[in-house]
Structure 1
Amino acid sequence: MDHPKAPYDEAETDNVSGQSITANELYRPDVDTSGVDERKLLRRIDIYILPWLAFLYVLNFLDRGSIGNAKLYNLERDLGITDKQYLIALTVFFFPYALFEPVSNVLLRRLRPSVWLSSMMLFWGVIMTLHGIAHDYGGLIRIVFYLSCWYTRKELGSKLAIFFSSATVAGAFSGLLAAAIANMDGIGGKPGWAWIFILEGLITVVFAVVSFWVVQGFPENAKFLTETERVFVIRRLRNDMQFSAGGEKFSSKYIWQSLKDWKTWVAMGIYMGFDGPLYAFSLFTPTIINQVFELTSPWFQATKANLLSVPVYAWGCLVTCVVGFLGDRIGRRSYITLVLLGIGLVAYIILLTSRSPALSYFAVYLAVSAIYPTIPNAVAWVAGNVEGSYKRSVTLGMAIGFGNINGAVAANIYRAEDRPWYTLGHGIVLAYIAIGWVCSLVFLILLKRENARRDRGERDEVIEGIDNKLAHPKNGTYESVDAARLDKGDEWSGFRYSL
C-alpha cells in the first residue's frame, strides 16, 4: 500500500501570504513519518475515540430526556406538583449547566479527558438516580472541543454527525425503554416513572466508572499512539491550520482573545438558534404527540406516544449522518446550515397553523430533519474557524453555554394550558430558529469579508528577514511565521476561514 506523504515533510511556501514555512518550523523534525499509513491510522483513531464517546452521549441524552417520558406516567400527580412547578424543575437544570460550560472546557484541556469527562458522567448518573427516590417538590457537548483536537476541519463534520446521531438514537431508545420500564410500576413500592430515573441513572454510573480507563487523552498524550504516529497526527492537524496541536501552554490572553472576537458573539446567536429548539423538541415531543392524537383517539395511551416518537428519532439519526458526510464532502457548511434552518422554519410554521394530527406528526419529522443535523454541521463550522486550543475551548464553551441557557426558556414554553396545539411553544421555537438563521447569514458574510481582506494583504504581519511590502507593524512584528501563527491563531494573516 502506498504511504501518503506527511504534512510539511519538506520546506514549502505558504501560497497565500508568500511567507516561508521552513523545516525548522516542522513539529519534531527529527522524526520520520513517511512510513505511516494515514488511512489505517485514522481508522484506529475512529475506533479508539468515537464509539465510546457516542455511547456516553447516548446515556447522557437518554438521562436528560427521561423526564419527558416520565411525565407521561403520572409523575406530576404522584409528586403532587403543578404544571408550573414541573416547568420550574426543568428550568433549574439549565443555569449551572450553561454557566460552567466555558470553565469545564478549559479544565478538559488542562486535565485528562478520562478524568474530567468520566467524573462529570459519574456525578450526573448519581443525580439522575436520586431523581427516582424523590417524594416531593451538567453536559457533554464539551466533547465537541475534544473531537476538534483530533480531526481536521474537513473531517470534523462527519465525526460530529456520527457522535451526535447517538442523541437521536437515545431519543428513539428512550421511548422504547421508558415504555418497558413503566411496566415495573408498583415494584418496590415505587411508581413506573421512578424506575425510569433509577435504572437509567444506575446504568450511567456503571459506565462512567469504566470510562476512567477507556476515554483517551489528546493527540500529544494518547496512549494508543506510537511516537511516530503521534508526530504524524500533530503535523496533519498543524497543516490544517491547527497550530496549537501538540500542546499549548495556558495563558489568560487566549481567554481574552475569545472574548474580544466577534465570532464568539455571533456564534452564540447561532447556537441559540438550535439549542433552544433541541431542548424543546427532546423534552416535549412525547407530550406533543400524546396531546395531538388524544383529540381523535380519547383512548390514546402514553406508551403509544412514546412509541410513536421512535420512528421520528430514527429518521433524525439517518438525516444527521447523511448531512454530516455531505458537509465534509462539499465543505460548504454555511449554506447547509442555512438550508437546514430554513426547513426548520417551515416545520414550525406548519405546527403553528395545523389543526390536523397527521399533518402535525409530519411536521415533527420535518423538525427533526432540521434541528438534529444542524447541530453537528454548525458546530463543526464554528469550531473549524477558531484556532488555538484554549481560545477554541472558551469560544465553544460560551456559545454552548449561552445556547443552553435558552434551554431554560424552552423548558417553560409548552404549558399544559396551551394543549393540544401548543401555539406559544411552537411560536417561540420558530423565533429561535429565525435568530439562528440570521446569525448564520451574518457569520458567513463577515467570514467572507475577512478572507477578502487577507487576500489583499491587509492583515499581513511584519516577519523579520522576510521582505513583504504589504506587511504593517499594526498587525504585529514577529521573528518567524511560526511565532506569528502560534501567537495569533485564526487572526494570523495566512489563516483562511472555511465557509
Structure 2
Amino acid sequence: MPPSTSANAKTDLDNIEKDVDPVHDVSLELNLAERTRLLRKLDRHLLPLVTLLYLLSFLSQILCHLSGNARIAGMSTDLHLVGLRYNIAAVVFFILYISAEVPSNIILKLYRPSRWLPIIMIAWGLVATLMCLVNTYQELLITRVFLGLTEAGMFPGVNYYLSMWYPRADLATRIALFYSSATLAGAFGGILAYAIEKMDGLGGLHGWQWIFCLEGLATMIIAFAAFFLMYDYPETASFLTEKERSNLVGLLKNDSQNLATHYDFQFVLQALKDYRAWIQSGMFIGLVVPIYAVALFIPTIINELGFSVVNTQLLTVPPYIAGCVCTILAGIYSDIHKLRGPYVIGGAFVSLVGYIILYTQRSPGASYVGAFLATAGVFSTIPVYIAWVSSNVGGDMKRGVVIAMLTGCANLGGICASLIYLDPPRFRVGHGTNIGCLSFSILGTTFAMWYYDRLNKQKEKECREGGITEDRKDEFRNMGDQSPLFRYTI
C-alpha cells in the first residue's frame, strides 16, 4: 500500500493542521507505556527504510568517493592519480555538495519527503553507475562534481525528516540508529571491495569500476522501492490509527511549544541570521574532518603500516564495528540522560587519544589500536551533535535550514580532510590536524553547554518576571527558539 492515499500530501497536511485545537494538548493524555508503544511503532515503520537509504549513501562514500578501498584496488594506477590528483578529485565533490544542501531541505519541506529523497537517490545512483565508464582523470573530476550535486540532500534530508516525527528528547537514539548504518557500511565496504575486486577483468572492466557500477545499481533499485514504502508526515501516516495520529501530533506540538510548522521565508531568514547556528556549524567541522579522514584514508593508513592489500581491506572492518556499537550506545544514553554535550566531549576525547597514538607510535600494532580508537570515538559524536543542534532550533522550517547549514558547513571539513594526508607513511600532518580539530570541538562544546545553560536561566527569569506561562505559547508561534517558553538542551 502506498504511504499516503492522498494525491497531494502537502495539501492534506495543511488542512489537518488548521483543524488541530492548539489548546487541547492530547499529548498529556499519554502515559509512559502508551508513549513508548507509539514511538516503537514509528521506529518499526520509519527507521528500517531510512537506515537502508543512508547505508547506501555512506556505502557510496566508502566505495565510490575515491575512498582507500577503490584507491588500493587499482584506481590510482589506472587513472594516473599521481601527486595531488587524488586529493583534488576528492575535493571537487564538495563544490556543489555544500551549496545544494539548504535548497534541498527547503524543497523537501515544500514537496514530499517520500518523493524528494528517492529522487535524490536515483540521481546519485545513476551518476555512480556511470562512473564505471570513467577512463581519464578529467572524466573522473566531472563525475565527482555531479556526484556531489546529486547526493547533497540525503544526509541533511534524513535528519530533518526524523526531526518532524520524533520529540526532541528521543531524537538522538533514532539518529544514532540510522547513522550507525554508516559504520556498518564502513565495515562491510572493505569486505565488499575485497569481493568485488575479484571481478577484475570481467566485462572488460577493472575491479574498481565494478565497485562503482554495482553500488550505483543497488542504490537505484532501493530508491525505486522507496517511492512506495516511505511515509511523508505524522498527520498523513497510514500506518497510524486516527487516535495514534492525534496523539503523535499533540505530542510533537507540545514538545515544540506549538511553534510554526508551515513554510514561510521569514523562517529561512531566521536560520540564516542565527549566530548560534553558524557557531555550532563551525564547531561541527572539528568532528567532521576526522570522520572524512576515516572514510577517505583509513585503508591507506592501514596499508602504509605494512599490511597486504587483502589484509588491509579486512582490517578496516573491526574499527567500524566498534564505531557502530559506540554510536548506538551514545545515542541511547544521551536520550536517557537528556544530555548532549557530555557525550560529544566523551567521544571526541576517545578519538583524540586514538590520533595521538597514530601520531606518536611507529609499530603497526600500536598504530592499529590508534586507528581503532579514532574511528570508534568520532563516529559516536555525530548523531548526538546533530540531535543537539536540532533540539535547540525552534520551528520546522528553521530547523530544516539549520540542519542543512550544519551539514553544509561541516562538509568544508571534507575538503580539509582531502588535503591533509600528504606525507606517508606516518601522515603526521593529517593526524596532527585531526588532533587540533578534535581539541577545538571539545573546547567549543564545553563553552556551548555553559552558554545554553545561561540562556535557559535568562528565559526562566523572563517568564517568571513577565508572568509568561504555557497557556500563552500561541503568542510566540512564529518566534522559533527566541520564544521565552523555548528551552535549550545542554
TM-score category of the 2 structures, normalised to the smaller one: 0.7 to 0.9
Q: For residue 141 of structure 1, what is the amino acid of its counterpart?
A: F
Q: For residue 105 of structure 1, what is the amino acid of its counterpart?
A: N
The answer as to whether partners of 1:91 and 1:408 remain within 8 angstroms in 2 is: yes
Distance 1:425 1:211 in 2: 39
User: Could you tell me how far 1:369 is from its partner in structure 2?
Assistant: 2.1
Distance 1:372 1:26 in 2: 41
User: Could you tell me how far 1:366 is from its partner in structure 2?
Assistant: 1.0
- SS of corresponding position for 1:224: coil
Name the residue aligned to 1:254: 267
The answer as to whether partners of 2:262 and 2:396 remain within 8 angstroms in 1 is: no
Asked whether 1:401 is paired with 2:408, we answer yes
Asked whether 1:280 is paired with 2:277, we answer no
Question: Rg bigger for which structure?
Answer: 1
Asked whether 1:491 is paired with 2:487, we answer no
5+ residue gaps, structure 2, are 1-19, 138-150
- Tell me which of 18, 37, 41 is aligned to 1:40: 37
Distance 2:440 2:233 in 1: 35
Q: For residue 186 of structure 2, what is the amino acid of its counterpart?
A: G
Asked whether 1:437 is paired with 2:433, we answer no
Distance 2:353 2:30 in 1: 51
Q: For residue 127 of structure 2, what is the amino acid of its counterpart?
A: I
Structure 1 residues 286 and 469, CA, compared in 2 at 3 Å: closer, same or farther? closer
Distance 1:493 1:414 in 2: 47
Within 5 Å, which residues of 2 pair with 1:281-296?
281-292=294-305, 294=306
Q: For residue 234 of structure 2, what is the amino acid of its counterpart?
A: P
The answer as to whether partners of 1:276 and 1:429 remain within 8 angstroms in 2 is: yes
- C-alpha deviations, 1:360-407, integer Å up to 9, x for none? 100111112221000011111111111100110111111110001220
User: Could you tell me how far 1:196 is from its partner in structure 2?
Assistant: 0.7
Two-structure CA RMSD over aligned residues (Å): 2.3
Q: How many residues align?
A: 452
Asked whether 1:321 is paired with 2:328, we answer yes
Name the residue aligned to 2:78: 78
5+ residue gaps, structure 1, are 1-22, 295-299, 461-467, 473-477
The answer as to whether partners of 1:95 and 1:408 remain within 8 angstroms in 2 is: no
Name the residue aligned to 1:176: 191
- Tell me which of 408, 424, 429 is aligned to 1:424: 429
Distance 2:59 2:453 in 1: 39
Q: For residue 405 of structure 2, what is the amino acid of its counterpart?
A: M
- Tell me which of 169, 186, 192 is aligned to 2:201: 186
Name the residue aligned to 2:170: 155
User: Could you tell me how far 1:94 is from its partner in structure 2?
Assistant: 1.1
The answer as to whether partners of 2:286 and 2:413 remain within 8 angstroms in 1 is: no
User: Could you tell me how far 1:158 is from its partner in structure 2?
Assistant: 0.9
- Tell me which of 31, 45, 48 is aligned to 1:51: 48
Name the residue aligned to 2:384: 377
- SS of corresponding position for 1:223: coil
The answer as to whether partners of 1:269 and 1:435 remain within 8 angstroms in 2 is: no
The answer as to whether partners of 1:266 and 1:443 remain within 8 angstroms in 2 is: no
Structure 1 residues 362 and 469, CA, compared in 2 at 3 Å: closer, same or farther? closer
Q: For residue 197 of structure 2, what is the amino acid of its counterpart?
A: A
Distance 1:286 1:390 in 2: 39
Distance 2:424 2:29 in 1: 66
Name the residue aligned to 2:311: 304
Distance 1:290 1:243 in 2: 53
- C-alpha deviations, 1:97-142, integer Å up to 9, x for none? 1111111111111111111100111111111111111000124222
- C-alpha deviations, 1:436-462, integer Å up to 9, x for none? 2222122212101111111222xx4xx
TM-score, normalised with respect to structure 2: 0.88
Q: For residue 311 of structure 1, what is the amino acid of its counterpart?
A: P
Distance 1:250 1:395 in 2: 14
Kindly, what percent of the aligned residue pairs are identical?
36
Distance 1:243 1:283 in 2: 42
Distance 2:443 2:293 in 1: 20
- Tell me which of 390, 393, 398 is aligned to 1:386: 393
Distance 1:62 1:319 in 2: 19
User: Could you tell me how far 1:469 is from its partner in structure 2?
Assistant: 5.5
Asked whether 1:219 is paired with 2:234, we answer yes
